Amino acid sequence: MRSDKVKKGLERVPHRTLLYATGIPAAEMNKPFIGVATSFTDIIPGHIGMRELERFIEKGVHTGGGYPFFFGIPGICDGIAMGHSGMYYSLPSRDLIADMIETIANAHQFDGLVLLTNCDKITPGMLMAAARVNVPSIVVTAGPMHSGNLRGRRLSLVNDTFEAIGKYQKGLIGDSELQSLEMCACPGAGSCQGMYTANTMACVTESIGMSLSFCATALAISSEKKRIAFESGRRVVELVKDDIKPRDIMTRQAFENAMRVDTALGGSTNTVLHIPAIANDAGVPLPIATFDSLSKTTPHIANMLPGGEHYLEDLHYAGGIPAVMKSLVSLLYNTSTVSGKDIHSIAEAAVIVDEEVIRPLDKAHHAEGGIAILSGTLAPAGAVIKQSAVVEGMMRFEGTAKVFDSEEEAMAAILKGNIVPGDVVVIRYEGPKGGPGMREMLSCTATIAGMGLSESVALITDGRFSGGTRGPCVGHISPEAMEGGVIAVIEDGDRISIDIPARKLDLLLSQDEINERLKNWQPRPAKITTGYLSRYAKMVTSAATGAIMKT
């Protein structure tokens, strides 16, 4: 066993002494050592229920014949970090998490890993670590939150609180309803209720094959989730004994399966950052153009929040990810999973309980999937949009640029009523380097939607979006402004064309005019010059490569 390096031989007397100091019985020393990375914290709703899941994972590891060692991994709640300087740290935390797990797992020579996660950057960070360390591993996502309820109406975080800001500003709701929404939208433990980034990444994890069936959608508060946690702990010991490693599962075909499921669900645009980053650590080249080619041939079969009407609980009760794979099975490779079952076997055994929630291919909501990759004079290296959350009338749009050099400047203009139909809000210097950290623009996009402008105003940025964003919002524009991309030289009053079916994003100027502006552009000084974010800005690569760190 790998752990023999710390527990076998004469020269390991001091090591065994330290291990015995932890309370491990001598009879357990010959069992596989399983590291359990837990991101429990009191401040993230998706993680507050993890203490119970830790107990069930521990029971499962012992039942399987292993010995568990728990270690803590930090997490950021993107909702709480949204709209202020805290969001600078969200995406960079993904790479810190991967580094931490790599460090602990290799320093202590664990034989296997259980990765207990749930929210936006924590799940991809843990998957990156699993691919990098490449010891037998299994992921437990802690599950979605139940929908909120106000006077019989179901509620979700984004649609009923972030968008409520714009409604309140427009006078569409008053103080009493605003306060009621605050209190009722998020009733307890779990990741936010729609197909936002946390739940999208949970679905991606299950589709890749790194978590057990139904793990992505089983509710955080359910006994089913506890049983999945137990079985995951038991199963990881079998993975160790059979020497089945993450790179055996996370193949190019597995990533393509996950991308198809993602786009069929209309998942978060953040997966265009995370899946390539995970693939990079798995040694699998995966250009973002792959998303577009797969999306064009993958129907959109589940109309999930924020652009649609269904909650994660609806998806679970309709059959979960196995049922989604059943509908898509003709498009999926028959790859392996941590359960020991292959994808086609899981799909064959699945039952689609509700064909309105999970539609067959011939009754899809849209012929194409949720993700589209745009390019053109404004984004030579690409840009990303969730086309499944855009109304038909905005699939092609030409508007007038209103330019802002930060999220805060744009938000102030939106709240003042300075954004009107026909505008294209341009938010720049918010990319991986320029932010730094590529902040999410959810406060801006949700306020625009809440003010009733999502069908007449577009927003483009070199930053990124929450999975909760809906409307004609184009992110990840590459090259970013800080690197001298074309977005850096847009001026107020310029005309911008967005053509989603043609996959085009253009600044309507001659190439000579664009070149002249670029020639006169001067780099801006870094916003942050100390600490982790300063180092991150120097090492991070383009959004077009998954914002991975240079090596």
CA distance 319 to 321: 7
User: Are the C-beta atoms of residues 213 and 351 closer than 8 Å to each other?
Assistant: no
Rounded to whole angstroms, the Cα distance separating 384 from 544 reads 9
Catalytic residues: 466
The DSSP element (H or E) to which 536 belongs, if any, is helix 531-539
Torsion over CA: 190, 196, 201, 202 (sign):
positive
Three-class SS of 427-454: ECCCCCCCCCCCCECHHHHHHHHHCCCC
Q: What are phi and psi of 214, to 5 degrees?
A: 75, 0
Give Dmax (Cα) for the chain: 76
Residues contacting 366, CB < 8 A, separation 6+: 299, 300, 387, 388
Alpha helices for 368-523 (secondary structure H):
407-415, 442-450, 511-520
> Which two tokens mark 455?
């069908």
> What sign results for the dihedral spanned by CA atoms 13, 16, 20, 22?
positive
Burial of 520 per CB tally in 10 Å (0-12, 13-18, 19+):
exposed
Q: Which long-range contacts (CB under 8 A, 24 or more apart) does 285-290 make?
A: 286/252, 286/255, 288/373, 288/382, 288/384, 288/544, 288/546, 289/373, 289/382, 290/256, 290/259
Tokens representing 395? 């699939």
- CA separation for the pair 103, 117 (Å, rounded): 18
Backbone angles phi, psi at 64, to 5 degrees: -75, -15
Our separate counts of H helices and E strands in the chain read: 22, 14
Separation between Cα atoms, residue 374 and residue 295, nearest integer Å: 12
DSSP strands (E only) in 26-170: 33-38, 67-72, 112-117, 137-141, 148-150, 153-155
